[in-house]
A and B are shown apart, each in its own frame.
Chain A
Amino acid sequence: MNVKLVFSQFLIACVAIFASAQAWAVLHLEVTGGIDSGILIAVPEFSAENTVSQKLSDVINSDLIRSGSFSPMSKDKMPVSQVSGTDVNIQDWQGNDLQNLVSGSIAKDGSNYVISFNLYDVPSGSVILSKKAKVSASNLRKYAHMISNMIYEKIVGLKGAFLTKIAYVSVDYKDAYPFRLVIADYDGYNEHIILRSKEPVMSPTWSPDGSSVAYVSFEKRKPGIWIQNIQGKTRQLITSFPGINGSPKWSPKGDRLALVFSKDGNPEIYTIGLGSKSMTRLTNNRAIDTEPSWAPDGSIYYNSDRGGKPQIYRMAGGDAQRVTWEGDANMNPCVSPDGKYIALITQSNGSYRVARLDLDTKNLMVLSNSQFDESPSIAPNGSMIIYSTIIRGRKGLALVSADGRFHANLPSVSGEVRAPAWSPFLN
């Protein structure tokens, strides 16, 4: 029997790679808490918005809600529904608690559009930001996200994450290829399936330059680590040792992957140089060591059950330091991009919840009020955490702000959605 031939045919039958822009499940946002505690802002319709393909004000409102920092005024409560251009009669908007107003206009210019907006500080009546840009028709949604970034940066003082993406795994058991790896805008739009498989796909992780994802695939009926360029359709098998090949995490400099292998007897953490292919072993004990996450200083936080139950440890140099002491168990650490806190899953009384560990105070705060949380991933500006949880009996995604005030669900339309990974800044 020609094993190689059988194998390659099997591989082709098992996995289909393509970047298809299918308009299927958009992740609809269901706010479940905290919307009232944000900054009060109004973004009425831009003038001539009805004549273009994207309702810019809707995109901006949606971004500002999803940031967790704003309470956008609903359109039916606005004193004026559509302002005529960027200039407004600011007195119409004063006298209540409204903090900010965005007014905008759209003008056609050949095959492009000129988009102008003003950001007002409502109590003082002054314009605090004013911008004008020429935008092609195909870039309207992208430019709306850019406006959201500008508003967010001006008011909140952090870099906005509205042009980022998420990778996640979608499972539909009715499909011939039930397991798919999906890349979408952070708000669920523009979904692209980049991999379809008959066997599970897990644990996507982004390269710091946003060009590639690494992930675990069981397409050979056992796990391997793959790297796939999300623009082209090229992919490469990186490791396929006997036993576990899991938990890939790209280093902040982009030159290494942290990984878990059990080839030396039980799950241990290793790093591989992507250029040099050199492998370094980081843990060596009888316990399970898994779920590595890089801190910006190059240290690695991970989950080890060497103490009996899973807890989070930090490894720097050769030393391992335990960092979680509350709850029954703590697992799945994700270090914030600025290194100031870790999102993790804490287990107590049978519930598994997203929590935040502040690395300076060592304070652990439970952030979610659901029960079976997994896979937290932090936005590149550190403000929001996306994770996977059970919503009405089915696995979907959820958002919580880093301070725990804002909560929203992103339920799957059909099948299950899990393993979210927030991209780095892409702009």
Chain B
Amino acid sequence: MEKRLAGIAAVIFASFMIASCSSTNDNGSIDPDISDVSGSEGADVTVGDYGDNYKLSPEERAKLEALKRNNTIYFAYDKDVVAPEYANILQNHARFLIAHPEVNVIVQGHTDERGTPEYNIALGERRAKSVALYLQNLGVNVRQLSIVSYGEEKPAVLGTSAEAFAKNRRAVLVY
């Protein structure tokens, strides 16, 4: 079942990413001058600070700030499946995003330190995609979602204990 969802996710994300990519010409060559795609389409909020510019009522602002404090999903070793205990958190995020189509969120994917850096970038992306797909399935518009994987490069906790590893296997929703 997960494999099929992963397949569907791949198709959805492929189309999402191709839609926002304006850097290649038809035969797939790369022009360094226009290969920088950040800042395009308005959907990209990676430019600029993490402080946001959304105009929200005080009530809605309070909701967003609460979401920012409760924004991390943890994963089991070598897994990218969203555990049921995070359903509540993700529903709260989804509800806010559906109510505010102008708000975008970046889903960051991270791994623990074990394994090799570039393979962990790929695993981190699987985790970020898994959470983004979960939000989409709750009704969030794909245009509000973008993902980035940091692999093992930005641990939340330094060290090699099981606890440190567990705290680093995560996806983080960043507004």
Residues of A within 8 A of B (CB): 3-4, 6-7, 10, 200, 202-203, 218, 220-224, 236-244, 246-247, 260, 262-267, 272, 276-279, 286, 288, 290-291, 303, 310, 331-332, 345, 347, 352, 372, 374-375, 390, 393, 418-419
Contact between B114 and A352, CB atoms less than 8 A apart: yes
Contact between B119 and A290, CB atoms less than 8 A apart: yes
With A277-B30, A286-B7, A393-B160: A203-B118 Cβ-Cβ less than 8 Å? yes
- The yes or no answer to B57 lying at the interface (CB within 8 A) is no
| Distance to closest chain A CB from B132 (angstroms) | 12
Name the contact of B119 in the complex, choosing from A3, A332, A419 (C-beta under 8 A). A332
Assembled-state Cα–Cα distance A199/B114 (Å): 21
Assembled-state Cα–Cα distance A162/B162 (Å): 40
- The yes or no answer to B66 lying at the interface (CB within 8 A) is no
Assembled-state Cα–Cα distance A238/B118 (Å): 18
Residue of B nearest to A388 (CB): B117
Contact between A7 and B32, CB atoms less than 8 A apart: no
Contact between B121 and A242, CB atoms less than 8 A apart: no
Range for the number of chain B residues in contact with chain A: 35 or more
Assembled-state Cα–Cα distance A332/B120 (Å): 11
| Distance to closest chain B CB from A111 (angstroms) | 45
Assembled-state Cα–Cα distance A279/B26 (Å): 11
Comparing B34-42, B67-75, B91-99, the segment that makes contact with chain A is B34-42
- The yes or no answer to B62 lying at the interface (CB within 8 A) is no
Assembled-state Cα–Cα distance A3/B27 (Å): 29
Residue of A nearest to B154 (CB): A200
Residue of B nearest to A333 (CB): B116
**Which chain B residues lie closer than 8 Å to A310 at the CB level?**
115, 119
- The yes or no answer to B65 lying at the interface (CB within 8 A) is no
Name the contact of B125 in the complex, choosing from A236, A244, A374 (C-beta under 8 A). A244
Residues 1-54 (chain B) with a chain A CB within 8 angstroms: 6-7, 10-11, 13-14, 17-18, 20-21, 23-24, 27-32, 35-39, 46-48
Name the contact of B28 in the complex, choosing from A203, A236, A278 (C-beta under 8 A). A278
Contact between A238 and B32, CB atoms less than 8 A apart: yes
| Distance to closest chain A CB from B129 (angstroms) | 9
Chain B 82-121 interface mask (CB, 8 Å, partner A; 1/0): 0000000000000000000000001000000111111101
Contact between A291 and B36, CB atoms less than 8 A apart: no
**Which chain A residues lie closer than 8 Å to B81 at the CB level?**
none
Contact between A262 and B122, CB atoms less than 8 A apart: yes
Residue of B nearest to A201 (CB): B153
Assembled-state Cα–Cα distance A263/B147 (Å): 12
- The yes or no answer to B139 lying at the interface (CB within 8 A) is no
- The yes or no answer to B149 lying at the interface (CB within 8 A) is yes
**Which chain A residues lie closer than 8 Å to B46 at the CB level?**
220-222
Assembled-state Cα–Cα distance A235/B140 (Å): 39
Assembled-state Cα–Cα distance A355/B14 (Å): 36
With A241-B37, A266-B10, A393-B160: A279-B29 Cβ-Cβ less than 8 Å? yes
Most buried by A among B48, B117, B151: B117
Name the contact of B35 in the complex, choosing from A10, A202, A240 (C-beta under 8 A). A240
With A220-B46, A236-B32, A372-B160: A291-B119 Cβ-Cβ less than 8 Å? yes
With A278-B28, A345-B116, A375-B116: A7-B154 Cβ-Cβ less than 8 Å? no
Assembled-state Cα–Cα distance A7/B37 (Å): 12
Could you list 17 examples of A-B contacts with CB < 8 Å? A7-B47, A10-B47, A203-B117, A218-B148, A224-B36, A238-B30, A241-B37, A242-B17, A247-B118, A263-B21, A265-B11, A272-B30, A286-B10, A303-B119, A331-B116, A374-B117, A418-B117
- The yes or no answer to B134 lying at the interface (CB within 8 A) is no
| Distance to closest chain B CB from A366 (angstroms) | 16
Contact between A277 and B29, CB atoms less than 8 A apart: yes
Contact between B159 and A393, CB atoms less than 8 A apart: yes
**Which chain A residues lie closer than 8 Å to B14 at the CB level?**
263-265
**Which chain B residues lie closer than 8 Å to A303 at the CB level?**
116, 118-119
| Distance to closest chain B CB from A183 (angstroms) | 19
- The yes or no answer to B150 lying at the interface (CB within 8 A) is yes
Name the contact of B153 in the complex, choosing from A218, A241, A352, A372 (C-beta under 8 A). A218
Residue of A nearest to B7 (CB): A286
